Chain A
Amino acid sequence: MSVFLTPSDRLRIVRVEESRVETQTARTVFFRDEACLNAKPGQFAMIWAMGADEMPMSLSVMNDEGRSAVTVKPWGPGSNLLCSLKPGELIGVRGPYGNNFTSKKGSTLLVGGGSGVAPLIPLSQELMRIGAKVTLVLAGKTSGDLMLLGDAERIIKPPHRLVIVTDDGSAGVKGLAPDAVRDLLSKKAFDQIYSCGPEKMMRMVFDMAEEKGIPMEASLERPMECAIGLCGICVVGKYLLCRDGPVLDSKQLREVSKEFGFTRLDRAGRVVPL
Protein backbone atom coordinates (compact mmCIF):
# COMPACT_ATOMS: atom_id res chain seq x y z
CA MET A 1 0.00 0.00 0.00
CA SER A 2 1.16 3.47 -0.71
CA VAL A 3 -0.55 6.64 0.29
CA PHE A 4 2.06 8.65 -1.56
CA LEU A 5 2.00 7.25 -5.05
CA THR A 6 -1.26 7.30 -7.00
CA PRO A 7 -2.03 4.35 -9.32
CA SER A 8 -1.62 6.56 -12.40
CA ASP A 9 1.71 7.91 -11.15
CA ARG A 10 3.23 4.49 -10.64
CA LEU A 11 5.37 3.20 -13.51
CA ARG A 12 3.76 0.18 -15.15
CA ILE A 13 5.51 -2.19 -17.53
CA VAL A 14 3.15 -3.48 -20.22
CA ARG A 15 3.44 -5.50 -23.40
CA VAL A 16 2.92 -4.07 -26.85
CA GLU A 17 -0.21 -5.86 -28.09
CA GLU A 18 -0.19 -4.57 -31.64
CA SER A 19 1.85 -2.15 -33.69
CA ARG A 20 -0.46 -0.88 -36.40
CA VAL A 21 1.02 0.68 -39.51
CA GLU A 22 -0.13 4.29 -39.96
CA THR A 23 2.29 5.52 -42.58
CA GLN A 24 5.50 4.11 -43.95
CA THR A 25 7.24 4.95 -40.66
CA ALA A 26 4.55 5.88 -38.12
CA ARG A 27 2.81 3.34 -35.91
CA THR A 28 -0.08 3.15 -33.49
CA VAL A 29 1.14 1.14 -30.53
CA PHE A 30 -1.58 -0.70 -28.59
CA PHE A 31 -1.21 -1.88 -25.00
CA ARG A 32 -3.36 -2.80 -22.02
CA ASP A 33 -3.19 -0.52 -19.00
CA GLU A 34 -5.94 0.00 -16.47
CA ALA A 35 -5.18 3.64 -15.64
CA CYS A 36 -5.19 4.69 -19.31
CA LEU A 37 -8.66 3.21 -19.84
CA ASN A 38 -10.14 6.11 -17.89
CA ALA A 39 -8.12 8.83 -19.60
CA LYS A 40 -9.96 11.73 -21.23
CA PRO A 41 -9.33 13.03 -24.76
CA GLY A 42 -6.28 15.31 -24.67
CA GLN A 43 -4.55 13.62 -21.73
CA PHE A 44 -1.11 12.14 -22.28
CA ALA A 45 0.98 9.29 -20.93
CA MET A 46 4.73 9.09 -20.43
CA ILE A 47 5.81 6.22 -22.64
CA TRP A 48 9.18 4.62 -21.89
CA ALA A 49 10.97 3.03 -24.80
CA MET A 50 13.51 1.22 -22.67
CA GLY A 51 17.10 2.13 -23.23
CA ALA A 52 16.23 5.08 -25.43
CA ASP A 53 13.87 7.69 -23.95
CA GLU A 54 10.64 8.35 -22.09
CA MET A 55 8.29 10.69 -23.94
CA PRO A 56 4.98 12.48 -23.38
CA MET A 57 2.41 11.19 -25.86
CA SER A 58 -1.26 12.00 -26.30
CA LEU A 59 -3.40 8.88 -26.16
CA SER A 60 -5.00 8.24 -29.55
CA VAL A 61 -7.07 5.37 -28.15
CA MET A 62 -8.32 5.31 -24.57
CA ASN A 63 -10.43 2.20 -24.39
CA ASP A 64 -10.95 0.03 -27.45
CA GLU A 65 -12.12 -3.20 -25.84
CA GLY A 66 -9.67 -2.74 -23.02
CA ARG A 67 -6.79 -1.48 -25.14
CA SER A 68 -5.20 1.96 -25.19
CA ALA A 69 -2.77 3.32 -27.76
CA VAL A 70 -0.39 6.08 -28.73
CA THR A 71 0.34 7.10 -32.31
CA VAL A 72 3.95 7.90 -32.94
CA LYS A 73 6.14 9.13 -35.75
CA PRO A 74 9.88 8.42 -35.56
CA TRP A 75 11.82 11.62 -34.85
CA GLY A 76 14.45 10.62 -32.29
CA PRO A 77 15.94 7.66 -30.41
CA GLY A 78 12.85 7.02 -28.25
CA SER A 79 10.21 7.30 -30.96
CA ASN A 80 12.40 5.36 -33.41
CA LEU A 81 12.60 2.51 -30.94
CA LEU A 82 8.89 2.69 -30.10
CA CYS A 83 7.97 2.45 -33.80
CA SER A 84 10.17 -0.62 -34.20
CA LEU A 85 8.75 -2.60 -31.26
CA LYS A 86 7.02 -5.89 -32.01
CA PRO A 87 4.01 -7.35 -30.21
CA GLY A 88 5.11 -8.86 -26.92
CA GLU A 89 7.92 -6.39 -26.32
CA LEU A 90 7.79 -4.21 -23.20
CA ILE A 91 7.18 -0.52 -22.72
CA GLY A 92 6.79 1.58 -19.58
CA VAL A 93 3.72 3.72 -18.96
CA ARG A 94 3.13 6.55 -16.46
CA GLY A 95 -0.01 8.66 -16.36
CA PRO A 96 -2.43 9.57 -17.77
CA TYR A 97 -1.36 13.10 -16.96
CA GLY A 98 -2.55 16.61 -17.68
CA ASN A 99 -5.90 18.17 -18.42
CA ASN A 100 -8.20 17.36 -21.32
CA PHE A 101 -10.20 19.04 -24.05
CA THR A 102 -13.55 20.25 -22.74
CA SER A 103 -16.33 18.86 -24.90
CA LYS A 104 -18.87 21.41 -26.03
CA LYS A 105 -22.10 20.94 -27.94
CA GLY A 106 -22.76 22.91 -31.11
CA SER A 107 -20.76 23.10 -34.28
CA THR A 108 -17.12 22.15 -33.65
CA LEU A 109 -14.04 22.36 -35.85
CA LEU A 110 -11.13 20.04 -35.07
CA VAL A 111 -7.77 20.71 -36.74
CA GLY A 112 -5.07 18.06 -36.59
CA GLY A 113 -1.70 18.08 -38.29
CA GLY A 114 0.65 15.07 -38.48
CA SER A 115 0.61 12.92 -35.36
CA GLY A 116 -1.25 15.78 -33.65
CA VAL A 117 -4.46 14.24 -34.90
CA ALA A 118 -4.04 11.55 -32.20
CA PRO A 119 -6.14 13.09 -29.40
CA LEU A 120 -8.66 14.47 -31.89
CA ILE A 121 -9.92 10.99 -32.79
CA PRO A 122 -11.17 10.18 -29.27
CA LEU A 123 -12.31 13.81 -28.95
CA SER A 124 -14.42 13.44 -32.11
CA GLN A 125 -16.05 10.34 -30.64
CA GLU A 126 -16.75 12.14 -27.38
CA LEU A 127 -18.19 15.19 -29.15
CA MET A 128 -20.47 13.06 -31.33
CA ARG A 129 -21.60 11.19 -28.22
CA ILE A 130 -22.79 14.41 -26.57
CA GLY A 131 -24.51 15.61 -29.72
CA ALA A 132 -22.03 18.10 -31.15
CA LYS A 133 -21.53 18.49 -34.88
CA VAL A 134 -17.96 17.57 -35.84
CA THR A 135 -15.80 18.81 -38.73
CA LEU A 136 -12.35 17.23 -38.57
CA VAL A 137 -9.51 18.64 -40.65
CA LEU A 138 -6.84 15.98 -41.00
CA ALA A 139 -3.64 17.31 -42.51
CA GLY A 140 -0.36 15.80 -43.64
CA LYS A 141 2.45 16.52 -46.07
CA THR A 142 1.35 13.87 -48.58
CA SER A 143 -1.30 11.16 -48.79
CA GLY A 144 1.28 8.81 -47.29
CA ASP A 145 1.71 10.99 -44.21
CA LEU A 146 -1.91 11.08 -43.04
CA MET A 147 -2.14 9.61 -39.56
CA LEU A 148 -5.13 7.70 -38.22
CA LEU A 149 -6.93 8.16 -41.53
CA GLY A 150 -8.64 4.76 -41.25
CA ASP A 151 -10.00 5.60 -37.81
CA ALA A 152 -11.16 9.03 -38.95
CA GLU A 153 -12.96 7.57 -41.98
CA ARG A 154 -14.59 4.88 -39.86
CA ILE A 155 -15.77 7.30 -37.16
CA ILE A 156 -16.75 10.40 -39.08
CA LYS A 157 -19.91 9.87 -41.13
CA PRO A 158 -22.43 12.48 -42.33
CA PRO A 159 -23.74 14.78 -41.03
CA HIS A 160 -20.24 15.02 -39.57
CA ARG A 161 -17.48 15.94 -41.94
CA LEU A 162 -13.92 14.85 -42.59
CA VAL A 163 -11.70 17.26 -44.56
CA ILE A 164 -8.42 15.79 -45.79
CA VAL A 165 -5.64 18.29 -46.58
CA THR A 166 -2.21 17.54 -48.04
CA ASP A 167 0.59 19.95 -48.94
CA ASP A 168 0.97 18.38 -52.40
CA GLY A 169 -2.66 17.58 -53.10
CA SER A 170 -1.98 13.84 -53.30
CA ALA A 171 -5.10 13.35 -51.18
CA GLY A 172 -8.02 15.66 -50.42
CA VAL A 173 -7.58 19.39 -50.74
CA LYS A 174 -4.19 20.74 -51.76
CA GLY A 175 -2.66 23.18 -49.29
CA LEU A 176 -1.90 23.63 -45.63
CA ALA A 177 -4.28 23.06 -42.75
CA PRO A 178 -4.72 26.81 -42.07
CA ASP A 179 -5.80 27.32 -45.71
CA ALA A 180 -8.56 24.74 -45.27
CA VAL A 181 -9.56 26.32 -41.96
CA ARG A 182 -9.77 29.77 -43.54
CA ASP A 183 -12.02 28.37 -46.23
CA LEU A 184 -14.26 26.55 -43.74
CA LEU A 185 -14.55 29.60 -41.49
CA SER A 186 -15.60 31.77 -44.42
CA LYS A 187 -18.45 29.44 -45.33
CA LYS A 188 -19.77 28.22 -42.03
CA ALA A 189 -20.25 29.29 -38.44
CA PHE A 190 -18.44 27.31 -35.76
CA ASP A 191 -18.95 27.50 -31.99
CA GLN A 192 -15.66 25.94 -30.92
CA ILE A 193 -12.27 25.05 -32.40
CA TYR A 194 -9.93 22.34 -31.12
CA SER A 195 -6.43 21.79 -32.45
CA CYS A 196 -3.37 19.62 -32.03
CA GLY A 197 -0.33 19.47 -34.27
CA PRO A 198 2.62 21.61 -35.29
CA GLU A 199 2.54 24.72 -33.14
CA LYS A 200 3.01 27.16 -35.99
CA MET A 201 -0.07 25.66 -37.64
CA MET A 202 -2.04 25.99 -34.40
CA ARG A 203 -0.92 29.58 -34.02
CA MET A 204 -2.24 30.43 -37.48
CA VAL A 205 -5.53 28.70 -36.67
CA PHE A 206 -5.69 30.56 -33.34
CA ASP A 207 -5.18 33.93 -35.00
CA MET A 208 -8.11 33.18 -37.32
CA ALA A 209 -10.22 31.97 -34.38
CA GLU A 210 -9.49 35.23 -32.55
CA GLU A 211 -10.45 37.27 -35.57
CA LYS A 212 -13.78 35.45 -35.76
CA GLY A 213 -14.28 35.43 -31.99
CA ILE A 214 -14.45 31.64 -31.83
CA PRO A 215 -13.17 29.99 -28.63
CA MET A 216 -10.33 27.57 -29.15
CA GLU A 217 -8.50 24.88 -27.24
CA ALA A 218 -5.05 23.83 -28.40
CA SER A 219 -2.95 20.93 -27.17
CA LEU A 220 0.68 22.04 -27.00
CA GLU A 221 3.79 19.93 -26.86
CA ARG A 222 7.07 20.58 -25.05
CA PRO A 223 10.00 18.46 -23.93
CA MET A 224 9.16 16.95 -20.56
CA GLU A 225 11.20 15.25 -17.89
CA CYS A 226 9.02 14.58 -14.87
CA ALA A 227 5.40 15.09 -16.08
CA ILE A 228 4.44 15.85 -12.46
CA GLY A 229 5.08 19.58 -12.16
CA LEU A 230 8.66 19.56 -10.90
CA CYS A 231 11.16 19.94 -13.72
CA GLY A 232 9.70 23.09 -15.28
CA ILE A 233 10.97 22.31 -18.78
CA CYS A 234 7.42 22.17 -20.22
CA VAL A 235 6.76 25.77 -19.21
CA VAL A 236 4.73 28.07 -21.45
CA GLY A 237 4.21 31.48 -19.84
CA LYS A 238 3.48 30.65 -16.21
CA TYR A 239 1.86 27.35 -17.14
CA LEU A 240 3.34 23.88 -16.81
CA LEU A 241 1.97 21.86 -19.71
CA CYS A 242 2.18 18.63 -17.70
CA ARG A 243 -0.16 20.00 -15.04
CA ASP A 244 -1.98 23.07 -16.36
CA GLY A 245 -1.99 21.70 -19.92
CA PRO A 246 -1.35 20.20 -22.38
CA VAL A 247 -4.61 21.84 -23.47
CA LEU A 248 -4.72 25.63 -23.18
CA ASP A 249 -7.85 27.69 -23.89
CA SER A 250 -8.15 31.00 -25.72
CA LYS A 251 -7.61 33.10 -22.61
CA GLN A 252 -4.43 31.21 -21.75
CA LEU A 253 -3.24 31.24 -25.36
CA ARG A 254 -3.62 35.04 -25.38
CA GLU A 255 -1.58 35.21 -22.16
CA VAL A 256 1.26 33.19 -23.71
CA SER A 257 0.98 34.93 -27.07
CA LYS A 258 4.69 35.81 -27.19
CA GLU A 259 5.69 32.14 -26.87
CA PHE A 260 2.83 30.27 -28.56
CA GLY A 261 4.07 29.36 -32.02
CA PHE A 262 7.49 30.90 -31.45
CA THR A 263 9.69 29.61 -28.64
CA ARG A 264 10.20 26.82 -26.14
CA LEU A 265 12.83 25.73 -23.62
CA ASP A 266 15.33 23.07 -24.62
CA ARG A 267 16.52 20.37 -22.22
CA ALA A 268 19.12 22.76 -20.85
CA GLY A 269 16.44 25.35 -20.10
CA ARG A 270 17.54 27.69 -22.89
CA VAL A 271 14.90 29.62 -24.80
CA VAL A 272 15.04 28.36 -28.40
CA PRO A 273 12.90 29.01 -31.47
CA LEU A 274 10.28 26.37 -32.31
Chain B
Amino acid sequence: MAKAAPEALSSSKLSVNIAGLTLSAPTMLAAGVVGITPSLLRRALDSGAGAVLTKSIGLNPREGYRNPTVVGVECGYLNAIGLGNPGVQAFSEQLKNIKGDLPIIMSLFGSGPEEFSQMMPLLEDTPVKGYELNLSCPHVKGVGVEVGQDSEMVSKIVSVVKRGTKKPVFVKVSPNVGNVVEIARAAESVGADGITAINTLRAMTIDVEAKRPVLSNKFGGLSGPAIRPVAVRCVYEISSVVRIPVVGCGGVSKWSDAVEMLLAGASAVQVGTGLATQGYGVFKALNEGILRYLSEHGFERVEQIVGLSHSF
Protein backbone atom coordinates (compact mmCIF):
# COMPACT_ATOMS: atom_id res chain seq x y z
CA MET B 1 0.00 0.00 0.00
CA ALA B 2 1.43 3.36 -0.97
CA LYS B 3 1.93 5.66 1.97
CA ALA B 4 0.59 9.17 1.60
CA ALA B 5 3.34 11.73 1.27
CA PRO B 6 3.58 13.97 4.36
CA GLU B 7 2.71 17.12 2.41
CA ALA B 8 -0.50 15.42 1.33
CA LEU B 9 -1.66 15.63 4.93
CA SER B 10 -2.33 19.30 4.57
CA SER B 11 -4.33 18.34 1.50
CA SER B 12 -7.76 19.86 1.07
CA LYS B 13 -8.99 16.27 0.61
CA LEU B 14 -9.02 15.94 4.38
CA SER B 15 -10.50 19.29 5.24
CA VAL B 16 -14.12 19.42 6.33
CA ASN B 17 -16.61 22.14 7.01
CA ILE B 18 -18.77 21.52 10.04
CA ALA B 19 -21.35 23.98 11.27
CA GLY B 20 -19.44 26.84 9.69
CA LEU B 21 -16.07 25.74 11.02
CA THR B 22 -13.42 24.75 8.52
CA LEU B 23 -11.17 22.04 9.93
CA SER B 24 -7.92 20.87 8.34
CA ALA B 25 -8.82 17.26 9.17
CA PRO B 26 -11.91 15.37 10.33
CA THR B 27 -10.26 14.21 13.56
CA MET B 28 -10.77 15.96 16.88
CA LEU B 29 -9.59 15.59 20.44
CA ALA B 30 -12.65 14.52 22.45
CA ALA B 31 -13.85 16.55 25.42
CA GLY B 32 -12.54 15.63 28.85
CA VAL B 33 -9.28 14.23 27.57
CA VAL B 34 -6.09 16.19 28.39
CA GLY B 35 -7.68 19.50 27.29
CA ILE B 36 -7.07 21.24 30.58
CA THR B 37 -4.27 23.64 29.59
CA PRO B 38 -3.55 25.66 26.44
CA SER B 39 -0.25 23.76 26.07
CA LEU B 40 -1.99 20.37 25.89
CA LEU B 41 -4.66 21.66 23.50
CA ARG B 42 -1.97 23.04 21.25
CA ARG B 43 -0.02 19.79 21.37
CA ALA B 44 -3.04 17.89 20.04
CA LEU B 45 -3.43 20.43 17.22
CA ASP B 46 0.28 20.23 16.43
CA SER B 47 -0.15 16.44 16.28
CA GLY B 48 -2.72 16.70 13.51
CA ALA B 49 -6.10 17.11 15.18
CA GLY B 50 -8.46 19.22 13.08
CA ALA B 51 -10.04 20.64 16.22
CA VAL B 52 -9.70 20.16 19.97
CA LEU B 53 -12.28 20.05 22.73
CA THR B 54 -11.50 21.30 26.20
CA LYS B 55 -12.31 19.48 29.40
CA SER B 56 -15.91 20.05 30.39
CA ILE B 57 -16.10 23.35 32.23
CA GLY B 58 -18.77 24.30 34.74
CA LEU B 59 -19.83 27.50 36.43
CA ASN B 60 -17.76 26.86 39.56
CA PRO B 61 -14.40 25.19 40.25
CA ARG B 62 -14.83 21.54 41.06
CA GLU B 63 -12.43 18.86 42.22
CA GLY B 64 -13.04 15.47 40.69
CA TYR B 65 -13.67 12.28 42.62
CA ARG B 66 -11.08 10.59 44.78
CA ASN B 67 -8.91 8.02 43.00
CA PRO B 68 -9.27 5.42 41.62
CA THR B 69 -10.93 7.43 38.88
CA VAL B 70 -9.76 5.34 35.93
CA VAL B 71 -9.38 1.60 35.49
CA GLY B 72 -8.92 -0.64 32.47
CA VAL B 73 -11.15 -3.60 31.69
CA GLU B 74 -10.81 -6.21 28.90
CA CYS B 75 -12.62 -4.09 26.34
CA GLY B 76 -12.05 -0.49 27.35
CA TYR B 77 -11.57 1.91 30.21
CA LEU B 78 -13.94 2.96 32.94
CA ASN B 79 -13.61 6.47 34.28
CA ALA B 80 -15.28 8.55 36.91
CA ILE B 81 -13.01 11.56 36.92
CA GLY B 82 -15.96 13.57 38.16
CA LEU B 83 -15.83 16.67 35.94
CA GLY B 84 -12.92 18.22 37.80
CA ASN B 85 -12.41 21.68 36.32
CA PRO B 86 -11.22 25.15 37.35
CA GLY B 87 -14.54 26.82 36.68
CA VAL B 88 -15.51 28.99 33.76
CA GLN B 89 -13.84 32.16 34.97
CA ALA B 90 -10.38 30.73 35.71
CA PHE B 91 -10.42 28.60 32.57
CA SER B 92 -11.41 31.51 30.34
CA GLU B 93 -8.50 33.49 31.76
CA GLN B 94 -6.13 30.65 30.82
CA LEU B 95 -7.54 30.45 27.30
CA LYS B 96 -6.95 34.14 26.75
CA ASN B 97 -3.19 33.41 26.80
CA ILE B 98 -3.54 31.38 23.63
CA LYS B 99 -1.81 32.96 20.70
CA GLY B 100 -3.07 32.46 17.20
CA ASP B 101 -6.33 31.48 15.61
CA LEU B 102 -6.89 27.93 16.78
CA PRO B 103 -9.85 25.55 16.31
CA ILE B 104 -10.67 25.10 19.98
CA ILE B 105 -14.17 24.09 21.04
CA MET B 106 -15.13 24.49 24.66
CA SER B 107 -17.08 21.77 26.40
CA LEU B 108 -19.58 23.02 28.99
CA PHE B 109 -21.67 21.29 31.59
CA GLY B 110 -24.35 22.62 33.91
CA SER B 111 -27.33 21.68 36.01
CA GLY B 112 -29.93 23.41 33.85
CA PRO B 113 -30.78 26.49 31.78
CA GLU B 114 -30.00 28.90 34.66
CA GLU B 115 -26.42 27.69 35.08
CA PHE B 116 -25.76 27.72 31.34
CA SER B 117 -27.20 31.23 31.05
CA GLN B 118 -24.90 32.39 33.86
CA MET B 119 -21.88 30.93 32.10
CA MET B 120 -22.42 32.35 28.62
CA PRO B 121 -21.65 36.04 29.37
CA LEU B 122 -18.36 34.98 30.99
CA LEU B 123 -17.25 33.28 27.78
CA GLU B 124 -17.68 35.77 24.99
CA ASP B 125 -14.10 37.09 25.07
CA THR B 126 -12.46 33.68 24.92
CA PRO B 127 -10.82 32.68 21.65
CA VAL B 128 -12.85 29.46 21.30
CA LYS B 129 -14.57 28.71 17.99
CA GLY B 130 -17.64 27.01 19.39
CA TYR B 131 -19.18 25.09 22.24
CA GLU B 132 -20.10 21.50 22.92
CA LEU B 133 -22.69 20.95 25.63
CA ASN B 134 -21.97 17.93 27.77
CA LEU B 135 -25.51 16.70 28.32
CA SER B 136 -24.25 13.16 28.61
CA CYS B 137 -21.67 12.60 31.38
CA PRO B 138 -22.90 9.41 33.09
CA HIS B 139 -21.38 9.74 36.55
CA VAL B 140 -22.08 13.14 38.12
CA LYS B 141 -25.33 13.88 39.90
CA GLY B 142 -27.55 16.66 38.60
CA VAL B 143 -25.66 17.34 35.37
CA GLY B 144 -24.66 15.49 32.19
CA VAL B 145 -27.08 12.77 31.20
CA GLU B 146 -29.29 13.53 34.20
CA VAL B 147 -30.34 16.70 32.39
CA GLY B 148 -29.60 15.33 28.92
CA GLN B 149 -32.09 12.47 29.05
CA ASP B 150 -35.08 14.80 29.02
CA SER B 151 -35.72 16.29 25.59
CA GLU B 152 -37.62 19.26 27.02
CA MET B 153 -34.70 20.10 29.31
CA VAL B 154 -32.31 19.71 26.37
CA SER B 155 -34.37 22.18 24.33
CA LYS B 156 -34.34 24.72 27.15
CA ILE B 157 -30.58 24.46 27.67
CA VAL B 158 -29.73 24.67 23.97
CA SER B 159 -32.06 27.68 23.62
CA VAL B 160 -30.37 29.70 26.36
CA VAL B 161 -26.90 28.83 25.07
CA LYS B 162 -27.84 29.80 21.53
CA ARG B 163 -29.22 33.11 22.81
CA GLY B 164 -25.89 33.72 24.55
CA THR B 165 -23.56 33.18 21.60
CA LYS B 166 -23.21 33.49 17.84
CA LYS B 167 -20.70 30.66 17.75
CA PRO B 168 -21.76 27.14 16.72
CA VAL B 169 -23.16 24.95 19.47
CA PHE B 170 -22.81 21.17 19.46
CA VAL B 171 -24.73 18.88 21.79
CA LYS B 172 -22.99 15.75 23.03
CA VAL B 173 -25.54 13.03 23.61
CA SER B 174 -25.59 9.88 25.70
CA PRO B 175 -26.54 6.37 24.65
CA ASN B 176 -28.01 5.98 28.16
CA VAL B 177 -31.35 7.50 27.20
CA GLY B 178 -34.66 6.05 26.04
CA ASN B 179 -34.34 7.42 22.54
CA VAL B 180 -31.16 9.19 21.51
CA VAL B 181 -32.70 10.30 18.21
CA GLU B 182 -35.42 12.18 20.05
CA ILE B 183 -32.80 14.06 22.10
CA ALA B 184 -30.85 14.97 18.97
CA ARG B 185 -34.01 16.14 17.26
CA ALA B 186 -34.95 18.26 20.27
CA ALA B 187 -31.54 19.93 20.15
CA GLU B 188 -31.79 20.56 16.42
CA SER B 189 -35.28 22.01 16.69
CA VAL B 190 -34.04 24.87 18.88
CA GLY B 191 -30.99 25.66 16.79
CA ALA B 192 -28.15 23.32 17.78
CA ASP B 193 -25.52 23.40 15.06
CA GLY B 194 -24.29 19.83 15.47
CA ILE B 195 -24.60 16.64 17.49
CA THR B 196 -21.70 14.72 19.00
CA ALA B 197 -22.48 11.06 19.55
CA ILE B 198 -21.68 9.52 21.97
CA ASN B 199 -20.45 10.00 25.52
CA THR B 200 -19.34 7.03 27.62
CA LEU B 201 -21.80 4.35 28.77
CA ARG B 202 -22.65 4.19 32.45
CA ALA B 203 -20.80 1.17 33.77
CA MET B 204 -19.18 -0.50 36.77
CA THR B 205 -16.42 -2.96 37.56
CA ILE B 206 -15.89 -4.96 40.72
CA ASP B 207 -12.55 -6.54 41.52
CA VAL B 208 -13.03 -10.17 42.49
CA GLU B 209 -9.99 -10.30 44.78
CA ALA B 210 -10.84 -7.05 46.54
CA LYS B 211 -14.55 -7.85 46.34
CA ARG B 212 -15.39 -4.18 45.92
CA PRO B 213 -16.11 -1.68 43.17
CA VAL B 214 -12.82 -0.27 41.88
CA LEU B 215 -13.87 3.31 41.08
CA SER B 216 -14.26 5.45 44.18
CA ASN B 217 -17.54 6.68 42.71
CA LYS B 218 -18.53 3.02 42.10
CA PHE B 219 -20.10 3.99 38.74
CA GLY B 220 -18.28 5.46 35.80
CA GLY B 221 -18.34 5.73 32.04
CA LEU B 222 -17.12 2.97 29.73
CA SER B 223 -15.05 4.08 26.75
CA GLY B 224 -12.86 2.39 24.18
CA PRO B 225 -13.39 -0.42 21.67
CA ALA B 226 -16.35 -1.90 23.57
CA ILE B 227 -18.58 1.09 22.82
CA ARG B 228 -17.69 1.66 19.18
CA PRO B 229 -20.57 -0.38 17.75
CA VAL B 230 -22.95 1.51 20.04
CA ALA B 231 -21.52 4.80 18.81
CA VAL B 232 -21.76 3.72 15.18
CA ARG B 233 -25.41 2.78 15.71
CA CYS B 234 -26.19 6.14 17.34
CA VAL B 235 -24.38 8.10 14.61
CA TYR B 236 -26.26 6.16 11.95
CA GLU B 237 -29.66 6.64 13.59
CA ILE B 238 -29.17 10.32 14.41
CA SER B 239 -27.73 11.25 11.02
CA SER B 240 -30.75 9.57 9.40
CA VAL B 241 -33.12 12.11 10.91
CA VAL B 242 -31.26 15.38 11.59
CA ARG B 243 -29.93 17.80 8.99
CA ILE B 244 -27.18 19.25 11.18
CA PRO B 245 -23.76 17.54 11.16
CA VAL B 246 -23.05 14.64 13.49
CA VAL B 247 -19.61 14.12 15.02
CA GLY B 248 -18.79 10.50 15.87
CA CYS B 249 -17.14 9.66 19.16
CA GLY B 250 -16.58 6.33 20.88
CA GLY B 251 -13.78 3.81 20.54
CA VAL B 252 -12.01 5.35 17.55
CA SER B 253 -8.34 4.44 17.65
CA LYS B 254 -7.41 3.31 14.14
CA TRP B 255 -8.17 4.64 10.66
CA SER B 256 -10.78 1.99 9.87
CA ASP B 257 -12.71 2.96 13.02
CA ALA B 258 -12.75 6.56 11.80
CA VAL B 259 -13.83 5.58 8.29
CA GLU B 260 -16.61 3.42 9.74
CA MET B 261 -17.92 6.45 11.65
CA LEU B 262 -17.80 8.59 8.52
CA LEU B 263 -19.65 5.94 6.53
CA ALA B 264 -22.23 5.78 9.32
CA GLY B 265 -22.93 9.47 8.86
CA ALA B 266 -20.37 11.33 10.97
CA SER B 267 -18.85 14.45 9.43
CA ALA B 268 -15.83 14.10 11.70
CA VAL B 269 -14.65 11.87 14.54
CA GLN B 270 -13.39 12.50 18.04
CA VAL B 271 -10.68 10.55 19.82
CA GLY B 272 -10.47 10.07 23.58
CA THR B 273 -9.37 6.69 24.85
CA GLY B 274 -7.44 6.20 21.60
CA LEU B 275 -5.00 8.77 22.93
CA ALA B 276 -4.14 6.47 25.85
CA THR B 277 -3.46 3.48 23.65
CA GLN B 278 -1.90 5.24 20.64
CA GLY B 279 -0.44 8.43 22.09
CA TYR B 280 -0.61 11.82 20.38
CA GLY B 281 0.46 10.13 17.12
CA VAL B 282 -3.10 8.85 16.81
CA PHE B 283 -4.26 11.97 14.94
CA LYS B 284 -1.62 11.75 12.23
CA ALA B 285 -2.19 8.00 11.88
CA LEU B 286 -5.95 8.50 11.50
CA ASN B 287 -5.52 11.33 9.01
CA GLU B 288 -3.06 9.33 6.92
CA GLY B 289 -5.32 6.29 7.00
CA ILE B 290 -8.41 8.25 5.96
CA LEU B 291 -6.47 9.90 3.15
CA ARG B 292 -5.19 6.55 1.92
CA TYR B 293 -8.70 5.11 2.04
CA LEU B 294 -10.05 8.01 0.01
CA SER B 295 -7.37 7.54 -2.65
CA GLU B 296 -7.76 3.78 -2.82
CA HIS B 297 -11.52 4.01 -3.14
CA GLY B 298 -11.51 6.81 -5.67
CA PHE B 299 -12.87 9.66 -3.54
CA GLU B 300 -11.76 13.27 -3.72
CA ARG B 301 -12.98 14.55 -0.38
CA VAL B 302 -13.97 13.27 3.05
CA GLU B 303 -17.49 14.64 2.57
CA GLN B 304 -18.10 12.14 -0.22
CA ILE B 305 -18.06 9.20 2.18
CA VAL B 306 -20.07 10.78 4.99
CA GLY B 307 -23.19 8.67 5.45
CA LEU B 308 -22.43 6.51 2.43
CA SER B 309 -23.64 3.37 4.22
CA HIS B 310 -27.17 4.77 4.35
CA SER B 311 -27.72 3.92 0.70
CA PHE B 312 -28.07 0.22 1.53
Contact = CB atoms under 8 A, between A and B. Distances in A.
Contacts of B90: 270
Interface stretch (A104-112, A189-197, A226-234): A226-234
B68 A92 contact: yes
Given A2-B75, A5-B72, A270-B90, A229 B34 contact: yes
B225 A235 contact: no
Given A92-B210, A238-B42, A268 B63 contact: yes
Interface residues of A, number: 40
A269 B225 CA distance: 28
Interface string A157-192: 000000000000000000000000000000000000
Given A13-B207, A92-B207, A5 B73 contact: yes
Contacts, number: 126
Contacts of B214: 11, 92
A268 B39 contact: no
Interface in A186-231: 224-231
Nearest to B62: A268
Contacts of B91: 269
A225 B279 contact: no
B66 A226 contact: no
Given A4-B224, A92-B207, A92-B210, A267 B64 contact: yes
Contact of B276 (A52, A90, A230, A269): A230
Interface string A253-274: 0000000000001111111000
A53 interface: yes
Given A10-B72, A270-B86, A270-B90, A229 B276 contact: yes
Given A4-B277, A92-B207, A231-B70, A225 B85 contact: no
A232 B61 contact: no
Given A225-B69, A229-B275, A270-B61, 10 more contacts: A9-B72, A55-B67, A226-B70, A230-B33, A232-B34, A232-B37, A267-B64, A267-B84, A268-B87, A269-B91
Interface of B: 33-37, 39-40, 42-43, 55, 61-64, 66-77, 79, 81, 84-87, 90-91, 94, 207, 209-210, 212, 214, 224-225, 272-273, 275-277, 279
Interface of A: 2, 4-5, 9-11, 13, 46, 48, 50, 52-55, 78, 90, 92, 94, 224-233, 235, 237-238, 240, 243, 265-271
Ranked 9 nearest A-B pairs via Cβ: A54-B67, A13-B209, A232-B34, A226-B70, A232-B36, A2-B74, A228-B276, A54-B68, A270-B86
